[in-house]
Structure 1
Amino acid sequence: MKPTTRLLLSSAAMALALTGMAPAQEVAREDTVIFDLDRTIRDPENFNWFTSGTKRQHGAHQAMWEPLFILNYETGEMDPWLATAMEPNEDFSEWTLSLREGVEWSDGEAFNADDVVFTVGMVLENEELSEREAATMRAQVAAVEKIDDLTVRFTLNSPNPRFHVENFGVRIFGSFLIMPEHVWAGEDPATFAFYPPIGTGPYTYSSADTNRAIWDRNDNWWGAATGFMDLPEPARLIWLETGGEESRAQLMLANQMDIAHSVSIGTFEAIQAQNPNVISWHDGYPFAWPDPCARQLEINTTVAPWDDPAMRRAVGLIIDRTQIVNIAYEGTTVPSSTMFAEYGSMRPFIDAVVAAGHGLPATGDVEAAQALIEAAGYTMGSDGIYERDGEDLAVSIHVNSASTEYTRTIDMVVEQLNRAGINARSVPVENGVFWGEVLPFGAFEMSYSWLSCGSVNEPWTSMSRYTTASVVPVGERSPGFNNTARWDGDAAAAYTAIVEEMGTMALDDPALPGMVAEAYGHLAGELPFIPLVQAAKLIPMNTTYWTGWPTAENNYNHPAFWWNHTHQIIHNLERAE
């Protein structure tokens, strides 16, 4: 139930208690949605998203800047938003974008093809605009042209069946955002702060500081005026920096936060015990939503004895994923059956791999693993560790020390390997060293990561990360963290040939699942990496004031509210009765 006292303290007023700043205006708590912000806003008066370091997840791309499309993780479909369609030519070298009629910027100017052509052209001409989506656009597009006010044609540098979803579909986190030509024209795009900002979304910028941003509803929003969609119910949105898990919990308990970043199962259960209005993606275990980056064990295939596929398969057989779930994750995730994130849109490919016999077991088979080890010439020593030629079978596993999730998982893997006869040890390293030196340069025997991340609606994006095109010697940087295992040889070449052909095919080509299974056979036989478990994001959502949050049962899309698709979440929110 709601508190009996009508709480008129807006979230801006709550920020007052934290910052000493006065709220811009009074808005009832029940008209306000308060979102968790997991980072400080470095420059509250800089909204130039094209430049590195300028963040947009403090409401800018969730409430103000709308995407052209929003990818639905369950169906794999591209839900139209500012655009209505995007169609390729026969070989995917040209794409034609159709914009929605009647879209306006919040200052009343029309949003049209001129804005799209201007924004893309600006990025193509300015290499200093370095944010990921800008760099991707520059790498893929040769030319952009206006056909008419609502139609734009893109000519690509090379054919790409995934161009629309990679750039405009909010595939992961964000999308390429179109800016208003009438504001940006004549400005230096590398230094223009775009302050105060405007967008096409149903909320306009009100104020911001380093620890919060406030957005107020624009009752003249184009979407309601054209009948595209009703105005969202919340009158105000606040992104508030919480400072950590304990603060999130306290704000949830006090009903002064409506959705928070991931917390541990212990914290979530403590919150829910005192505030039963707080829910999660699943109503019970595993509670958490799986984010796109499933966890895995990387193996350096150039280092003996792990250059032997049989020895890598032995490690794969030893690992007990269910035990990792139960102990390291306290039941908040599930074992991975393949390299892929387990979304509805990925189900045809996962099912094809499993049906072909390449799926991973949830538990280990130590006896089968030991048979492979012994076939490689190892014998069990009196200390319970295998040895050969007077040397123990040993391995060091590097792990990023930035999170207890990572270290607890590898501690569990180390324990499993030691029990099976491999002298394993964890090597925790600082975040910068892990990502800057260990992984990219192959300075590891094994390591913990999520480098098959990428595929959320089609298989090529993740599978292409392990082709022979990315093989470089140890000591050279792996391009884009791809194939850090340095997997090469006949099986890798056969895998690469299939994956490269997949890369030329339409995303809905019926031949794809079978090709995925065929390629996966080479991967499963050699195991350059070992999938472990799905990633776990236990996101608390408070229904005291607002209902309609995305859940596994109300799966209109996923709950990552720091992403550009959050427009869908906001439009689905309804005042609690």
Structure 2
Amino acid sequence: MFLKAKRSRAVAAGVAALAMLATACGGSSTSAGGDGTLVVYTGQSGDWQLNFNPFSPTALEGPGTIFEPLFFYNNIRDVEPRPRLGKTFTWNSDGTQLDVELRDDAKWTDGQKFTADDVVFTLDMVTKNAAMNGTGYKGTATAVDPTHVSIKFPEPSFMEGPQILGRIWMVPKHKWSGLATPATDVVKEPVGTGPFQLDDFKAQAFTLKANPNYYAGEPALKKVRYLALSGNQSGEAALRAGQIDWQTGPVPDIKNVEKNYPGYKAITIPMNQVALFTCSNAALGCAGPQTDVAVRKAVYYAVNRTQINQLAFENTAGEISPGAALLERDRDQVSTKLKEKTAPMQPDEAKATSLLEGAGYTKGADGIYQKDGKPLALTLKVVAGWTDYITAVETMSQQLQKVGIKITPQQLSWNEWSDARGRGQYELLIDALHQGPAPDPFYNASYFYSTATTAKVGEIANPNFARVSDPAIDAALAALKGIDPKDDAKRQPHFDTIQTRIEELVPYIPILTGGTTSEFNAKKFTGWPTKEDLYAFPAVWARPEHSEIFLKLKPAS
């Protein structure tokens, strides 16, 4: 009943949003942005909160579009990185020095020239602010001259290359040097080098416009308009009405998008790993039953992944490795030492209850396990309007009830959910583990399982939200940084360590490998990625991948 009522409200809100959009775009009610504007929906539920700080966990936009990396790395296919603000880069023989040649024709949108000083300032700022350092960067950068930067590391750091070059957003020294707390300060008027700049902002929608002075030439796509709706159902309603051109999310009868949405096409790529995030580490301030690994493992075995896939994801998701490497892309690195190659698709209720009872839990008269007089009850946070995740959460709460675990779903706005995730102020929440800048399982592990990317509860972690801190994982990650990425034989023992420890700790309880599906207006715009030409991961919320797609798109007319 709760879901049904929520969905009714979502549809009503979606209809209201459509009326607003037609007025805002100045066009008919049956076409998005008649002026050639690309109208996108990222899944934002509720009003936008103005913030274009690309390092903030609550940033609404900027990485890739306004603020650029030095290079673009394709994290689906193993291809050479494409230059952005950088032109070339070279490593020394032992991986302790990275030299980068920069463009000499890039300018900030306020007219000032982009130079090596901006790169050094950005990298120094990241090292001084742990909450901004989502890559664990430890280098020391020096400006050799206006177009050359040399970065030295205290130890071999080959694996840092794609993260530094592809996942750190360059910001202007002359603007950002005045920020008191750059990790959290709100940036309302962003100045970047990217192909787009802010045009206008309202709580319900904001627009980026093409940068006329972009060093690679003004993009053919002149405007991108971002909508705030009330969730997946309102997004689908907008898609059906032709009011948005690109969204990444579920729609009914997803296999027949071209039939049901004339002029639109869809693409599904298995990349992001749906998981129940747990605030797992009591030593860093996490509190609740989920800090007990026996509880996490019981949840792992109790869920029915086949049913979740059917009810929540229209069978677009796939199996997932308990060691967190992607089964398809990373098949050569998936450890043979895992106890289970894939998470079970069917529940093992006997194993779940055995784990709980072995850890001292006893079942109460109400059927819920308890320990030390406290029931095994957990709150699971989900973003309001994310109907696929809401369905998954509701389904899991019923499944876990059968093994004596009480789950209370809690729907929040994206801003509330994101803040709770960052500060560790949650027991469980549903989200997905994203991949790094290159097609290598090292990056996912270095993001979500490294001590360097987490923080105490109350402080912002980025992005190790589960507060994982494990010496064996840290040592293996450190060792991988110093090994040539082409040396598979030397790397694999460290991947074995990482994956078997992740399987043992289960800080992010793996559910399914999400089949990330985008629906896009192929009649109005050309240049979209295809399975034959995956030049970027096609998700509207993926950054900086979405900016590569914006640069390729051209109005069909």
> Does the alignment reach a TM-score above 0.5?
yes
Q: 2:379 aligns with which of 398, 404, 418?
A: 398
1:8 maps to: none
3-state SS in 2 of match to 1:566: helix
Stretch deviating more after TM superposition (266-275 or 297-306): 297-306
Q: 1:93 to 1:426 in 2, by over 3 A?
A: same
Q: 1:277 aligns with which of 263, 274, 279?
A: 263
Q: 1:433 to 1:254 in 2, by over 3 A?
A: closer
Q: Separation in 2 of the partners of 1:527 and 1:270?
A: 36
Q: 2:220 aligns with which of 233, 240, 254?
A: 233
Q: 1:271 to 1:364 in 2, by over 3 A?
A: closer
Q: 1:359 to 1:259 in 2, by over 3 A?
A: same
Offset at 1:400? 0.3
1:424 maps to: 405
3-state SS in 1 of match to 2:518: coil
1:3 maps to: none
Stretch deviating more after TM superposition (334-343 or 378-387): 378-387
1:541 maps to: 520
2:537 maps to: 558
Q: 2:77 aligns with which of 75, 78, 91?
A: 75
Structure 1's unaligned 5+ residue stretches are 1-13, 225-230, 283-288
Q: 1:383 to 1:366 in 2, by over 3 A?
A: farther
1:188 maps to: 178
1:85 aligned onto 2:79: no
Stretch deviating more after TM superposition (536-545 or 425-434): 425-434
3-state SS in 2 of match to 1:327: helix
Q: 1:29 to 1:339 in 2, by over 3 A?
A: farther
Q: 1:478 to 1:136 in 2, by over 3 A?
A: closer
Q: Separation in 2 of the partners of 1:501 and 1:29?
A: 53
1:515 counterpart letter in structure 2? H
Question: Is the CA contact (8 Å cut-off) linking 1:296 and 1:533 kept in structure 2?
Answer: no
Question: Is the CA contact (8 Å cut-off) linking 2:156 and 2:483 kept in structure 1?
Answer: no
Q: Separation in 1 of the partners of 2:208 and 2:171?
A: 22
Question: Is the CA contact (8 Å cut-off) linking 2:39 and 2:227 kept in structure 1?
Answer: no
Question: Is the CA contact (8 Å cut-off) linking 1:551 and 1:558 kept in structure 2?
Answer: no
Question: Is the CA contact (8 Å cut-off) linking 2:272 and 2:515 kept in structure 1?
Answer: no
Question: Is the CA contact (8 Å cut-off) linking 1:393 and 1:423 kept in structure 2?
Answer: no
Q: 1:408 aligns with which of 391, 394, 419?
A: 391
1:4 maps to: none
Offset at 1:275? 2.5
Question: Is the CA contact (8 Å cut-off) linking 2:99 and 2:150 kept in structure 1?
Answer: yes
CA deviations 1:74-97 (Å, max 9, x no partner) are 125533222133334455443211
Under a length normalisation based on structure 1, what TM-score does the superposition of the two structures give?
Answer: 0.69
CA deviations 1:455-497 (Å, max 9, x no partner) are 5633344445557899999x8989667585878xxxx665554
2:276 counterpart letter in structure 1? Q
1:319 counterpart letter in structure 2? V
Q: 2:145 aligns with which of 138, 143, 148?
A: 148
Offset at 1:177? 1.9
2:170 maps to: 177
3-state SS in 2 of match to 1:145: strand
Offset at 1:363? 2.1
3-state SS in 2 of match to 1:266: coil
Structure ID, larger Rg? 1
2:8 maps to: none
2:9 maps to: none
Q: 1:309 to 1:81 in 2, by over 3 A?
A: closer
Under a length normalisation based on structure 2, what TM-score does the superposition of the two structures give?
Answer: 0.71
Offset at 1:71? 1.7
Q: Separation in 1 of the partners of 2:513 and 2:23?
A: 36
Question: Is the CA contact (8 Å cut-off) linking 1:205 and 1:215 kept in structure 2?
Answer: yes
Q: Separation in 2 of the partners of 1:312 and 1:537?
A: 26
Q: 1:35 aligns with which of 36, 40, 43?
A: 40
Offset at 1:99? 1.7
Offset at 1:533? 1.2
Question: Is the CA contact (8 Å cut-off) linking 2:118 and 2:170 kept in structure 1?
Answer: no
2:100 maps to: 97
2:16 maps to: none
2:215 maps to: 222
Offset at 1:72? 0.5
Offset at 1:141? 5.5
1:364 aligned onto 2:358: no
1:212 maps to: 206
Q: Separation in 1 of the partners of 2:200 and 2:277?
A: 44
How well do the aligned residues superpose, as a CA RMSD in angstroms? 5.3
Q: Separation in 2 of the partners of 1:377 and 1:65?
A: 49
Offset at 1:195? 9.1
3-state SS in 1 of match to 2:98: strand
CA deviations 1:169-212 (Å, max 9, x no partner) are 14xxxx32243x6xx37983559999986654455665555533
The structure carrying a bigger strand percent of its residues is: 2
